[in-house]
Structure 1
Amino acid sequence: MALSMDDRIAITDLINEHGHLTDRGDYDGLASLFTQDVLYDVSAFGGGVLAGLAAIREAALALGDANPVAHHVTNIVLRETADGIVHAQSKGLGIMADGSAGSVTYEDTVERTPAGWRITHRVVHPRRKPLRS
């Protein structure tokens, strides 16, 4: 089944909304983006795999002022598999309080649930070195 335009918009909005919720500290709102049992993999940052919304909230609160003050997402690409699961890839920019910035790639698994599209698995890959030929 091909993704409809409405599905594509809903999934793109889902991914875009993450930064808005996170930046205002609305961790309860993350339930509108992720499943309760989401696996959020920040191993590349030393944080391991966070299992569930409560673990995401706890990790963000533990970081405190070390969290970015702004999350921006761009370059969203959606690919549907034969079983209706969507793999989304996007680029993220994090702006820190001191003005420094970092770049990541988000790899999301998105599934249709009774509550609508939700991210079931996210892997965050930092981009720390420029491309070398």
Structure 2
Amino acid sequence: MTLSAGDRVAVTDLINRHGHLTDHGELDRWSELFTPDVVFDLTGMGGGVLTGLAALRDATSAMAGEHPVAHHVTNIVLDETADDHVRALSKGIGVMADGTTGSVTYDDTIVRGDQGWRISRRVIRARRAPLTP
């Protein structure tokens, strides 16, 4: 089965919405983005693996002063892996309060359920070194 144009727009909007809700501190609305049992893998950023929406909210709240003030997502590529399952790769740019920036890759598993499309797994990998031949 191929993703419809409507599904592609819905999944892309879901990924884009993450930055808006997060940057506005609307963590109580993350249920619009993530499944209740989301797995959030931060090992590529020097962190651990968080399981569940409550754990993700708690960890984000605890590091509020160290969190980017702006999240920008680009280069979204969608691949349907099974019915109602999509793998989404995207690039993230985080802007810190002091103006420094960082780049990451988001590797998302997105599933369609009763509430629509939601991210069930997100792996974040930091990009810290330039490409070398």
Q: Same fold (TM over 0.5)?
A: yes
- The structural deviation recorded for 1:45 is 2.1
> What is the 5 A alignment of 1:1-133?
1-133=1-133
Letter in 2 for 1:132: T
Say which structure is richer in strand: 2
Q: CA-to-partner distance for each residue in 1:82-120, whole Å, 9 max, x for gaps?
A: 444100000000000010000000000011101001110
Distance, in Å, in 1 between the alignment partners of 2:17 and 2:96 is 19
- The structural deviation recorded for 1:64 is 2.1
1:78 aligns to what SS in structure 2?
strand
Structure 1 segments (4+ residues) deviating >2 Å:
none
Taking structure 1 as the reference length, the TM-score comes to 0.97
Distance, in Å, in 1 between the alignment partners of 2:80 and 2:110 is 9
Distance, in Å, in 2 between the alignment partners of 1:106 and 1:82 is 19
Q: CA-to-partner distance for each residue in 1:52-76, whole Å, 9 max, x for gaps?
A: 1111111111112111000000000
2:54 aligns to what SS in structure 1?
helix
- The structural deviation recorded for 1:81 is 1.6
User: Which sections of structure 2, spanning at least 5 residues, go unmatched?
Assistant: none
User: Which sections of structure 1, spanning at least 5 residues, go unmatched?
Assistant: none
Identity %: 60
Aligned alpha-carbon RMSD (Å): 0.9
1:21 aligns to what SS in structure 2?
helix
Q: Larger deviation: 43-52 or 23-32?
A: 43-52
2:57 aligns to what SS in structure 1?
helix
Q: Larger deviation: 80-89 or 113-122?
A: 80-89
Q: Larger deviation: 85-94 or 57-66?
A: 57-66
1:43 aligns to what SS in structure 2?
strand
